[in-house]
Chains A and B, each alone.
Chain A
Amino acid sequence: MRRTAFITIPALACTLLVSVACAAALGPTGISPGSLLSLPNAWTIIWDVRLPRVIAAALVGCALAVAGTAMQGLFRNPMADPHIIGTSSGGALGATIAIVLFAGAGRPVFAFAGAMAATFAVYFISRKRGKIPVETLLLSGIALSTLLAALLSFLMYTAGRSLHQIMFWLMGGLWNVSWDDVIVALPILVGCAGIYLFARDVNILSLSEEDATHLGVNVEGLKRILLVLSALVAGIAVAVAGSIGFIGLITPHVMRLIVGPDHRLLFPAAALAGAILLVWSDTLTRTFTNDMPVGIITACFGAPFFIYLLRSRMKT
């Protein structure tokens, strides 16, 4: 455990609170504390439009970061992330089915089911003699994501939905978020708390599966629980905000550099950092870029980071 760890978590928590406050104040209509009193609809903008959106962004960012951290530990593979291995595509397809066939009823449930099916499919496709090599994990994730995205586009297209809606599921965005969506997103906190209970087990599992068995970890049971919980939080995140990439990849890496590999610290640090990252990404897009999908922003700094990781792995 590193000395910086104890400062990092409170510092991140404070940063998140400040970020939420700033993000609520920032936007196309600048609202200063003074104008809250003078402008009649200022409260409405803050309370009904911005605050649910900022809180949803924080929850979704937290969900993606925690799911990414859990998957990296679980697969013993630092390239894992809900977007890359197809969990998000599965969730997006599930949500689309709910929209097209059931007029949106049970959207989070369908997203969760889709996310879980996709996650387990990639897990079983890429597993070879108890190991999950980087190459097969990435390739099977890409193959499955491509297939799922095609199915999603097909469903949307034949149902006569606009390109804008297809784009939402493929790239993610928070432009229609209301308080109802925040309520849908709340189980993310339960899922993350559930994952946190297994932090010590993930530490041990990140050595090797056999070693974890020797140390008293029920490896198969743990993997199932973690995959279900990761798919749960990632699936809900997708149901609320579409499939936003790279938050789950970058956050655990950066936090591991700061707090070390111990998941008892890494999970909370990644949760807070993921929330901060998405709150600011979303604020950026709605303030300066006329509300383009936030996935474009995260991909813009996420993809180069991904390439950097791949290159540095090749060197070793």
Chain B
Amino acid sequence: MKPVEIIDIDVSYGAKKILEAITFHADAGEILGIIGPNGSGKTTLLKAMSRVVARDSGEIRLDSRNLDTLGYRELARQVAVVPQDISIGFDYTVRDIVMMGRHPYIGRLASETLRDVEICDHAMHLTNVAHLTGMSIHDISGGERQRVLIARALAQEPKILLLDEATSNLDVSHQVEILNIIRDLTGKITVVSVFHDLNLAAYYCDRLLLLKDRKVYATGTPEEVLTYENIREIFQMETLVKPHPLTGRPYILPVYTHQSGVGTNRRVHVVCGGGTGSDILQLLHAAGFTVTCGILNVLDTDYGTAMHLGLPCVAEPPFHGITPESLSGLRECLDDADAIVVTAMPIGRGNLDNLRVLLDYRTKPIILYSRNSNSPMEDYTGGEAAAVLADLETRGALRVEEAEELLARLSQGYSGRS
């Protein structure tokens, strides 16, 4: 028996279709996140579940009971909704608002009992608003008001809690505070929430439902749904998807791509490693250069970046020296490149050949790029790498420290020889 089952529902406003053939379910005690771009129907889906919006077809079941067979009060005892924010016209106190959550339990001729008061007190305690009881709803902050609305929802003693971007008007610390409260409720309550922020959704949800163009695009765990490919397809945006260092959940970093086009028809090979090349790979890619890189270890951050950007990369397995096959792959890249960029990467025996091979390319412009002159290349080769670099410099390789300068040099067709 599922707490929520949505079976093939269609919703439209007038002639405009808002949702089409939506089918999914929520498991008992989980947090199910609904994500998707603006206009994909997230909020409407939530409204269909709280019966504020009528369906054209399909069925919604709560604990195997058809949603349409429930009375108004009965529905409010099963499902509570926390809205995004509400403007309250009259000057109610916090307790008045929370007590309204008991409305579906109190008969028309009855008034609230001691038990109703206790339930409200408990709800206010859980959401940490007990100290605000007598305050006017107008005299408290946005974060406090949102917690009051959650307390009101909890006073309904619902089996299912629906949240419509319940935290998106708040600053980060209040968002986290409220979502922590919500997560502490799970087990007892099934939560279905619309999220705008993909990272919050990834962190707090057990499963995600991704909507696109009125339809379900993907469902599953955050790892399954929040893939680089899905996000690019849905939001038409470049991102880096990485495991969060503390939680292991997917973490999405937007890439603020700006296509300047200065590098069109020019090839650049980047020799990098240890994360020193990620920004340059991104920058050159965005500027329109045809970028190759390598040789990199497949566990290297720069390798991950290259893969996310879809750049050709010569790579080796971890803890593996450079093989002759890779080296010939690198030579092919270098042969085709109009210019070569070397970052201030850490160099050991394993990747020294990356530098040595450059000595064979006397005619190619070479730029030694370091983001910060105070952190020079880490040399683990006992001076060998430094010697190679010095050799390259005497042959005309140029040191550059600013990303803008690097871009300017590369786009001017810098030859490196004087």
Residues of A within 8 A of B (CB): 1, 76, 78, 197-198, 200-201, 203-204, 206-208, 210-211, 213-218, 256, 260-262
Asked whether, in the complex, the Cβ of A214 is within 8 Å of the Cβ of B89, the reply is: no
Contacting residues, chain B, for A198 (C-beta < 8 A):
108
Known: A1-B96, A200-B108, A262-B96. 12 other contacts (CB 8 A): A207-B86, A207-B88, A207-B89, A208-B87, A214-B81, A215-B101, A216-B76, A217-B72, A217-B103, A256-B91, A261-B96, A262-B92
Query: Residue-by-residue, is B77-93 near A (CB-CB < 8 Å gives 1, otherwise 0)?
Result: 10111010011111111
Q: Which residue of B lies closest to A76 (CB)?
A: B89
Most buried by A among B47, B79, B89: B89
Asked whether, in the complex, the Cβ of A215 is within 8 Å of the Cβ of B90, the reply is: no
Q: In the bound complex, what is the Cα–Cα distance between A83 and B106 (angstroms)? A: 34
Q: In the bound complex, what is the Cα–Cα distance between A1 and B77 (angstroms)? A: 25
**The 8 residue pairs across chains A and B that have the minimum distance between CB atoms:** A216-B76, A216-B104, A261-B90, A216-B73, A214-B81, A218-B72, A215-B103, A216-B72
A213-B52, A217-B72, A261-B91 known; A204 vs B100 contact (CB < 8 Å): yes
Asked whether, in the complex, the Cβ of B89 is within 8 Å of the Cβ of A203, the reply is: no
Asked whether, in the complex, the Cβ of A211 is within 8 Å of the Cβ of B72, the reply is: no
Q: In the bound complex, what is the Cα–Cα distance between A213 and B51 (angstroms)? A: 8
Q: In the bound complex, what is the Cα–Cα distance between A213 and B96 (angstroms)? A: 17
Contacting residues, chain B, for A207 (C-beta < 8 A):
86, 88-89, 97, 100
A197-B109, A200-B103, A262-B96 known; A214 vs B90 contact (CB < 8 Å): no
Q: List 18 A-B contacts (CB under 8 A).
A: A197-B108, A200-B103, A201-B103, A203-B100, A204-B100, A204-B103, A206-B89, A207-B89, A207-B97, A208-B87, A210-B83, A214-B76, A214-B80, A215-B100, A216-B72, A216-B74, A216-B76, A217-B72
Contacting residues, chain A, for B89 (C-beta < 8 A):
76, 78, 206-207
Could you tell me which residues of chain B, from 148 to 167, have a CB within 8 Å of some CB in chain A? 152, 156
Q: In the complex, how many angstroms separate the beta carbon of A49 from the nearest chain B beta carbon? A: 40
- Name B's interface SS: mixed
Q: Which residue of B lies closest to A78 (CB)?
A: B89
The reply on B50 being an interface residue by CB < 8 A is yes
The reply on B170 being an interface residue by CB < 8 A is no
Asked whether, in the complex, the Cβ of B83 is within 8 Å of the Cβ of A211, the reply is: yes
Residues of B in contact (CB 8 Å), total 33
Asked whether, in the complex, the Cβ of A210 is within 8 Å of the Cβ of B108, the reply is: no
Contacting residues, chain B, for A216 (C-beta < 8 A):
72-77, 103-104
Q: In the bound complex, what is the Cα–Cα distance between A203 and B91 (angstroms)? A: 11
Most buried by A among B72, B76, B104: B72
Contacting residues, chain A, for B50 (C-beta < 8 A):
213-214
The contact of A215 among B74, B92, B93, B104, by CB within 8 Å, is B104
Contacting residues, chain B, for A1 (C-beta < 8 A):
93, 96
Q: In the complex, how many angstroms separate the beta carbon of A240 from the nearest chain B beta carbon? A: 29
The contact of B90 among A200, A213, A256, by CB within 8 Å, is A256
Contacting residues, chain B, for A213 (C-beta < 8 A):
50-52, 72
Q: In the bound complex, what is the Cα–Cα distance between A216 and B156 (angstroms)? A: 10
Contacting residues, chain B, for A76 (C-beta < 8 A):
89
Asked whether, in the complex, the Cβ of A215 is within 8 Å of the Cβ of B76, the reply is: yes
Asked whether, in the complex, the Cβ of B96 is within 8 Å of the Cβ of A203, the reply is: yes
Q: Which residue of A lies closest to B97 (CB)?
A: A207
Could you tell me which residues of chain B, from 257 to 292, have a CB within 8 Å of some CB in chain A? none
Q: In the complex, how many angstroms separate the beta carbon of A316 from the nearest chain B beta carbon? A: 11
Q: In the bound complex, what is the Cα–Cα distance between A208 and B92 (angstroms)? A: 13
Q: In the bound complex, what is the Cα–Cα distance between A201 and B92 (angstroms)? A: 14
Q: In the complex, how many angstroms separate the beta carbon of A209 from the nearest chain B beta carbon? A: 9
Q: Which residue of A lies closest to B108 (CB)?
A: A197
Contacting residues, chain B, for A218 (C-beta < 8 A):
72
Contacting residues, chain A, for B101 (C-beta < 8 A):
215
Q: In the bound complex, what is the Cα–Cα distance between A55 and B92 (angstroms)? A: 34
Q: In the bound complex, what is the Cα–Cα distance between A261 and B81 (angstroms)? A: 23
Contacting residues, chain A, for B93 (C-beta < 8 A):
1, 260
Contacting residues, chain A, for B79 (C-beta < 8 A):
214
Q: In the bound complex, what is the Cα–Cα distance between A214 and B50 (angstroms)? A: 7
Q: Which residue of B lies closest to A77 (CB)?
A: B89
Contacting residues, chain A, for B52 (C-beta < 8 A):
210, 213-214
Q: In the bound complex, what is the Cα–Cα distance between A274 and B72 (angstroms)? A: 34
Q: Which residue of B lies closest to A262 (CB)?
A: B96
Q: Which residue of B lies closest to A266 (CB)?
A: B90
The contact of B91 among A200, A201, A215, A260, by CB within 8 Å, is A260
Q: Which residue of B lies closest to A199 (CB)?
A: B108
Q: In the complex, how many angstroms separate the beta carbon of B305 from the nearest chain A beta carbon? A: 45
Most buried by B among A76, A197, A207, A208: A207
Query: Residue-by-residue, is B85-121 near A (CB-CB < 8 Å gives 1, otherwise 0)?
Result: 0111111110011001101101011000000000000
Q: Which residue of B lies closest to A260 (CB)?
A: B91
Contacting residues, chain A, for B88 (C-beta < 8 A):
207
Q: Which residue of B lies closest to A204 (CB)?
A: B100
Q: In the bound complex, what is the Cα–Cα distance between A218 and B75 (angstroms)? A: 11
Asked whether, in the complex, the Cβ of B86 is within 8 Å of the Cβ of A215, the reply is: no
Q: In the bound complex, what is the Cα–Cα distance between A276 and B85 (angstroms)? A: 40
Contacting residues, chain A, for B74 (C-beta < 8 A):
216
Most buried by B among A1, A217, A261: A261
Contacting residues, chain B, for A210 (C-beta < 8 A):
47, 52, 83
Contacting residues, chain A, for B83 (C-beta < 8 A):
210-211, 214
Q: In the bound complex, what is the Cα–Cα distance between A225 and B74 (angstroms)? A: 21
Asked whether, in the complex, the Cβ of A208 is within 8 Å of the Cβ of B103, the reply is: no
Q: Which residue of B lies closest to A217 (CB)?
A: B72
Q: Which residue of A lies closest to B102 (CB)?
A: A215
Query: Residue-by-residue, is B213-225 near A (CB-CB < 8 Å gives 1, otherwise 0)?
Result: 0000000000000
Q: In the complex, how many angstroms separate the beta carbon of A112 from the nearest chain B beta carbon? A: 24
Contacting residues, chain B, for A211 (C-beta < 8 A):
81, 83, 86
Asked whether, in the complex, the Cβ of A261 is within 8 Å of the Cβ of B72, the reply is: no
